[in-house]
Amino acid sequence: MGQLAHQHNALNLSQGFPDFESDPELINLVTEAMKKGHNQYAPMPGIYSLREQLALKIKKLYNANYNPATEITITAGATQAIFTAITAFVRPGDEVILFNPAYDCYQPAIELCGAIPVNIQLSAPKYAINWSEVQSKITPKTKMIVINTPHNPCGTIWSKHDLINLENCIRDTNIIVLSDEVYEHIVFDDQVHESVCKFSTLKSHSLLVASFGKTFHNTGWKVGYCAGPQSLMEEFRKVHQFNVFSVNHPIQIALTSYLKNEENYLSISNLYQQKRDYFLEAIENSRFTGIPSQGTYFQIVDYSAISQENDVDFCKRLIIEHKLAAIPLSVFNVDGLDQYQLRFCFAKKEETLYKAATIISTL
Ligand SMILES: Cc1ncc(COP(=O)(O)O)c(C=O)c1O
């Protein structure tokens, strides 16, 4: 869709990245780190001061303890952390449970390991989890459950109740939970992010993945991290060592300083809530309908009042005829299930959102 949008010079609300810059202070910190000569390999698990800063942040936000020496690893973005976690643990014939719609990098990594993805389909518009269905999918072969909250593409967040249910499902098993929490700092309407690390049994089974690119508006820098109990982290690092070894050094130095001011990440929900509210208000009178996003910078809308075309064709027509790009939700489902839903990314300047809303209102 991004390519088609480019060809047709369409406004691009498809891919998930901001059209505004990272904080100049952070950019200066990276420049400074380079000028000070931090331009060679960083230690394999990441620089210690950044891991220490992250341990403090996780403790403050979620009251969970991770040892920075042995339980946190800096990664080349969340995608690498996810791939590393899956390849470290998943073997041929293992079953891995995931929820669809799902972010696109989970399934291929599972398949590459020769494992069997066990897909649980969620239904629009609420995409709620049916916990008895999850329980029924767990077998002696279940190696891992992949979760994502706040959720891309659905814009839903898991409640405390969901996390407790998950904890009950994995209690007394050896199942590993891979928890993709890259949008942890983008949660709306005074709700709180429920991290796996807030629940002690769950924490002991989980690898938690986060991304600085999502939090600090620099998806092109590709720096993230993984936190998990030592026994899991030891295995994670065995793979990390030989497929990445070392992650961008000056950016790690810069992030260590930048994270010391908690406002730098605590203010992000507010920034995106304003954008979500602006976008929703601007499309209020259109024929698109949708439940306000609870987290992430994505808004799902239903277009069934406008067209009965399948979502891929509808998106293509939106680009070609109306010069606006979105993502059809069916691409996040394994069997292409189409529920007449589109995803718009609202990590955009107000003027971009205004232009998009003007087009949307004519449909
Ligand atoms: C749910 C989810 N996980 C992981 C990623 C990848 O993050 P990174 O760019 O840090 O690899 C994304 C990016 O869109 C995402 O939406």
User: For 289-331, what is each residue's pLDDT tens digit?
Assistant: 989 999 999 999 999 999 999 999 999 999 999 999 999 999 9
Please state the rounded mean pLDDT for residues 89-101: 98
Q: Sheet harboring 341-345: ordered strands across?
A: 298-302, 341-345, 327-328
Q: How confident is the model at residue 335 (pLDDT cuts 50, 70, 90)?
A: confident
Supply the pLDDT for residue 15.
87
Alpha helices in the chain (DSSP H): 2-7, 24-35, 48-62, 77-89, 106-112, 131-137, 160-170, 200-205, 212-215, 230-243, 249-258, 263-266, 268-282, 311-322, 350-361
Share of the chain above pLDDT 70, in %: 100
pLDDT range class, residue 80, cuts 50, 70, 90: very high
Handedness of CA 113, 131, 133, 137 (dihedral sign): positive
Our mutation pick for probing the ligand 1 site, out of 17, 84, 147, 182, counting the most ligand atoms within 8 A of Cβ, is 182
> What average pLDDT does the structure give for the chain?
97
Nearest to 9 by CA among 312, 323, 317: 323
Tell me what the mean pLDDT of segment 283-291 comes to.
94
Would you state the pLDDT for residue 238? 98
Among 22, 79, 300, say which to mutate for ligand 1: greatest number of ligand atoms within 8 Å of CB.
79
pTM for this predicted structure: 0.97
Point out the ligand 1 atom lying closest to the alpha carbon of residue 152.
Answer: 1
Closest protein CA for atom 16 of ligand 1: 152
Please spell the DSSP secondary structure of 250-313, one letter per residue.
HHHHHHHHHTTSTHHHHTHHHHHHHHHHHHHHHTTTSS-B-PPPSBSSEEEEE-TTT--S-HHH
Please state whether the peptide bond connecting residue 125 to the residue before it is cis, i.e. omega within 30 degrees of 0: yes
Q: Is 234 helix (H, G, I), strand (E, B) or coil?
A: helix
Q: Enumerate domains of the chain plus CATH numbers.
A: 2-16+266-361 (3.90.1150.10), 24-260 (3.40.640.10)
pLDDT digits (tens, 9 = 90+) for 175-210: 999 999 999 999 999 999 999 999 999 999 999 999
Summarize the confidence of residues 265-288 as an average pLDDT. 96
Give dist(CA 91, CA 99) in Å, integer.
20
Question: How far, in Å, from the CA of 212 to the mean position of ligand 1?
Answer: 10
Ligand 1 centre distance from Cα of residue 106 (Å): 11
What's the pLDDT score for residue 147? Answer: 98
Task: For residue 363, report the distance from its CA to the centre of ligand 1, in Å.
Answer: 31
Q: Is the CB of 211 under 6 A from ligand 1?
A: yes
Spacing, Cα 306 to ligand 1 middle (Å): 31
What pLDDT shows up at residue 297? 97
pLDDT of residue 113: 98
Ligand 1, closest atom to CA 213?
A: 10
The string over 111-124, giving b where at least 16 C-beta atoms fall within 10 Å of a residue's C-beta and e elsewhere, is eebebbbbbbbbeb
| Beta carbon of 103 within 6 Å of any ligand 1 atom | yes
The pLDDT of residue 225 is above 90: yes
Encode pLDDT of 46-72 as tens digits.
Answer: 999 999 999 999 999 999 999 999 999
Structure confidence at residue 317 (pLDDT): 96
Mean pLDDT of 99-126: 97
CA of 79 to the centre of ligand 1 (A): 6
Q: What is the pLDDT of residue 2?
A: 87
Of 95-99, 332-336, 349-353, the range with the lowest mean pLDDT is 332-336
Question: Rounded mean pLDDT of 270-283?
Answer: 97
Ligand 1 pocket, residue 298 CB under 6 Å: no
Confidence at 16, pLDDT banded by 50, 70, 90: confident
pLDDT digits (tens, 9 = 90+) for 151-167: 999 999 999 999 999 99
Q: How far is the CA of 265 from the centre of ligand 1 (A)?
A: 17
What's the CA gap between 61 and 210, in Å, rounded? Answer: 14
Running DSSP on this structure, what letter comes out for residue 185?
T
Contacts of 169 (CB under 8 A, 6+ apart): 131, 134, 135, 138, 145, 175
Residue 363: what pLDDT?
92
